[in-house]
A and B are shown apart, each in its own frame.
Chain A
């Protein structure tokens, strides 16, 4: 049974996780398993709103259960530093409906 893509290449990288309830959490991937449970260090949540800029809430060391994960994206630090989060206005992401 092949293990396929896996998240090995993303370990120790900064990643952006989108959860099933539409939250965006950014952190350093420390570990994962077959169920896509994740261990995220130095994590913070980015709250998007249409009224004010992006809010960043510090979370620290987090374990996110795999059931709740939609997307795990590799954050490009360069691109991210070019973003002006305080100017960004957006609707929060929709929750996943199965």
Chain B
């Protein structure tokens, strides 16, 4: 592309796995495959901060939290464990509004599927805002330089 001053405009792109442009279809496919070996399918799909939140929740094990679900049910309990899908296992559970939701009266330990969580309400002293902020910033910066771009410059994670 040339402008009036007849200097060709070079658009810079961040490149990941190979510095030579343009990538052929096969090189592109192989490079993408190599990237996919680094990230689990879940990470590639969601892309961004799954790892960070997984580590964060692992540190919160043993704390009392309230999980609000997408069906408006709110369950209070001690965080027992969490997994890569951010499924949550709670012990000593009590439903927050037991009169409205007596459906779980005889349940004391439960497994909550990650996909159905709306909020996880944390104890105020359980959150180190600075640490989280820092970690998020680092993760975002790391991802920016690690993005894979396709032929048209679109981000392909």
Contacts and interface: CB of A to CB of B under 8 A. Distances in A.
Interface of A: 1-7, 10, 16, 18, 20, 22, 24, 36, 46, 48, 66-67, 69-77, 79-80, 82-83, 88, 90-91, 93-98
B112 A88 contact: no
A76 B107 contact: yes
A90 B72 contact: no
Interface stretch (B8-16, B30-38, B77-85): B77-85
Given A5-B80, A16-B104, A83-B105, A74 B110 contact: yes
Given A48-B103, A71-B113, A72-B111, A1 B71 contact: no
B136 interface: no
A3 B85 CA distance: 9
Interface of A is mostly: loop
A66 B116 CA distance: 11
B92 to A, nearest CB: 11
Interface residues of B, number: 33
Interface of B is mostly: mixed
B77 to A, nearest CB: 10
11 contacts: A1-B84, A2-B84, A18-B73, A24-B103, A66-B113, A70-B73, A71-B75, A71-B110, A71-B112, A96-B69, A98-B70
A27 B80 CA distance: 23
B102 interface: yes
A77 B105 CA distance: 11
